[in-house]
Amino acid sequence: MNPEIAIQALASSNLKTVDIGRLNDRLFGNVVAVGSIAGALSSVSSEDKTKLGSLAYLKEGLKQLTSPTAHPLVIHHDGQTWQGDSLLFLAVLTNSVGGFENLIPDAAVDDGLLHCFIILDLSIFNTITASISLLLGTLKDHKDVVYFTAHNVSVSSPETVRTNVDGEEGPTLPITLSVLPRHIQVIVPEVD
């Protein structure tokens, strides 16, 4: 967020080769979210993101949880299929999403995997426990969450369901996701 620090980071000679994701015919760098909450997160303003950080997403997500809408999803991944109602589906490349730095503690930017979460239709009590799990980095172990890793994923629904790609509005379903392992080099700032 500080231009001077960003410019200094460009002078770093540290390079790291990282994964990049493909959604249909476009690339993404971090996360694809599917569902009514995902659609609502697209409306988070740049101003709120700057001022509130991850709390901006939490604030908008909590608005949606007052009247959550689960959607029927069909998710194919690496030869397996999951089918059911889901409040939110996430496919993530890194351990950090929306400022939550510990979503998947064992995920690496170069592990060649999509880390996927199917959030089932949650009650208010389960939403509270899922939020705590999110903060502790144990969301994948929550009883109302289905977690898996995959190289290829497709998501469809008989309903019109919106997506959010790296914090911006994405296409409606169906979508196809894949990983391009160690596809791009990024500059890593020097450590003091």
Just list the catalytic residues.
168
Any idea how long the chain is? 192
DSSP code, position 67: S
Neighbours of 53 (CB within 10 A): 14
Strands, sheet with 31-34, edge to edge from the N-terminal-most edge strand: 145-150, 114-119, 88-92, 31-34, 163-165, 168-169
Extended beta strands in 48-136, E state: 71-77, 80-86, 88-92, 114-119
CA distances from 163 to 1, 28, 85, 177, 184 (A): 26, 13, 16, 12, 24
CA pair distance 37, 98, nearest whole angstrom? 13
